[in-house]
Amino acid sequence: MVPEGAPCERAEDRPAPLGCSPSGRCVAGEDSRNDAAVDALPDPVIPPACENTVVCPDGGTKTYFQCGSDCYIPCSTSAPFSTANMICETGADRIARVNTISTQECFEGHLATLTDEARIGLVQSPDATSPGEGWIWTNGVPLGFANWLSPPEPNDGDGSENGYEPRAASYPSGRWHDTRCTGPSRRVLCEVGH
């Protein structure tokens, strides 16, 4: 809000903007009303499919988007895989899965607004013998559709399968890569599925 009495920007050949006096000073009224209207906007309506009790780590905020009948809840904060998985299983259904092309296309539109990577619920079996095999969703469903950043993902960090990167994350572009379990925190992204 522009304080009362502060200069208002205006062109010489145009009338003063809302909330400005003819002398070019801010006056109470229009400016205050506009700011109050913004401050009084109701909280966003949570779609019924998105009802959840997710508590984002470190006081982060959550938003919502839907892809088909599933709802996704990105947190503004990050966590290691095990913490993200626990947050999602406790407050929603699971850490996010992207198991169809249509879900991936929907995801890409929403993830593009994020500035960092998001955890997805894709894990690699400890029995895998190459970086590209043994990937399953945290609910045990085998990987059918994949959107790896290719080449070189998945690569297990050093290109040989030694269990170094048995989890997956999604770049804001929507492309996936394998990551370490205990590696850097990534944005928490939960799913409420139906």
Angle at 189 (CA atoms; ends 174, 172), nearest 5 degrees? 25
**Residue 12 — pLDDT band, cuts 50, 70, 90?**
very low
Pairing of strands 167-170, 118-124: antiparallel
Percent of the chain with pLDDT over 70: 71
Q: Both tokens of residue 42?
A: 């109701």
CATH class of 48-192: alpha beta
pLDDT of 187 over the 80 cut: yes
pTM: 0.68
Q: Which residues of 67-105 are buried (b: 16+ CB within 10 A; e: fewer)?
A: beebbbbbbebbbbbeebbebbeebbbbbbbbbeeebbe
Average pLDDT of the residues in 43-53:
69
Q: Both tokens of residue 175?
A: 């492309």
Between 16 and 45, the more confident residue is 45
Between 70 and 181, the more confident residue is 70
Those residues with Cβ within 8 angstroms of residue 30's Cβ, 6 or more apart along the chain or in another chain:
18, 19
Percent of the chain with pLDDT over 90: 1
Radius of gyration of the chain (CA): 23
Q: State how far the Cα of 178 lies from the Cα of 116, in Å rounded to an integer.
A: 15
Parts of the chain belonging to CATH 3.10.100.10: 48-192
- Give me the DSSP letters along 116-154: S-EEEEEEE-TT-SSTTS-EEETTSPBP-S--B-TTT-S
Q: Which amino acid is at 57?
A: P
pLDDT of 144 over the 60 cut: yes
Q: State how far the Cα of 87 lies from the Cα of 77, in Å rounded to an integer.
A: 12
